Amino acid sequence: MTSHQTIQTMKPATAAKKLGVYLEATPAEFQEGVVSRTELNALQADPPQWLLELRRDGPHPRPVVAAKLGVSISGLARGGVTEALTTEQIEALKSDSPEWLRQERATQAEVRKEALRIKEKNAERGEQARRPRS
């Protein structure tokens, strides 16, 4: 009995998401084809020039923009940012530091602080559960 190994493929949108790039900014041949797991691994291991430039200069997809600005994707939307931004536009936003960005960064800081508090509380509960009872 022979086993046939099927090649895993993904849509270009999925591959772009995994690569952290904006699909509409990728080359046409990338957008129009399918990407195998092997091809994706090769792109990650040895990125071609177009991928290096996209990662450096953008335009960047919203999750990347949100991470670079230190806010959530929802925070971007509340701030009116609904499109992909270039690195230059992100840097300009950082230096301008509009009110919405300061507010969203503060909100993110609170969210992270609360997540840490909950994690520590859960760890403490786990410690108490592991202790032998007398």
At 127 the pLDDT is: 77
Q: What is the mean pLDDT of each run of 10 residues along the chain (134 residues)?
A: 72 92 92 90 92 93 93 92 93 93 93 91 81 65
Helices H, strands E: what count in the chain?
A: 8, 2
At 94 the pLDDT is: 93
Residue partners of 84: CB distance under 8 A and separation at least 6: 22, 24, 25, 58, 59, 60, 61, 62, 65
At 133 the pLDDT is: 64
Residue partners of 69: CB distance under 8 A and separation at least 6: 76, 90, 93, 94, 101, 104, 105
